[in-house]
Homo-oligomer: A and B are copies of this chain.
């Protein structure tokens, strides 16, 4: 194809800037040490509101251009008021977003034009654990599955390779599939 017949691939990801950031942070790794933050305020019952605004990275304090809020609650099936998604569903949202953002970035790097990307994330969970009904049942998900439907200007093998690379570099995927130390304290 001539250049007029082959418009530049544009998934909306500035890969050049990401590659520049990688080079710059490789030379100055202190700037790559990030602290991500959320605040949770209890409202009533199991209903809480999470807020995301500031973070630390690139050697200093940073903030998002707006404040993001997330209501969480339990469904009416648990005698709650269903004022938000459950915390476990919110984690699935984070996983789907991480892998999807990765797919867009990797596709851009590989000059693959995406037309649509949808991910369906399902988490199997035996709630006898969190209910304290069976000490043999863990509290966590039994397993999670992410299914992508991707329409892109690429072969099935190329699309599968993009997904695999996204998975290989996903912060949330790695945080779920490997142990992360979590410390909890009060007052």
Contacts and interface: CB of A to CB of B under 8 A. Distances in A.
Interface of A: 11-14, 17-18, 21-22, 25-26, 29, 32-42, 44-48, 50, 52, 55, 57-58, 62, 64-66, 68, 70-80, 82, 84-101, 103-105, 114, 116-134, 138-141, 143-150, 156, 159-160, 163-164, 167, 169-187
Given A48-B97, A131-B21, A139 B170 contact: yes
Q: Would you call the interface of chain A mostly helix, strand, loop, or mixed?
A: mixed
A98 B88 contact: yes
A181 to B, nearest CB: 5
Question: How many copies of this chain?
Answer: 2
Contact of A86 (B11, B33, B36, B120): B36
Contacts of A171: 87-88, 125, 129-130, 139-141
Contacts of A45: 11-14, 101, 104
A7 B78 CA distance: 24
Contacts of A12: 44-47
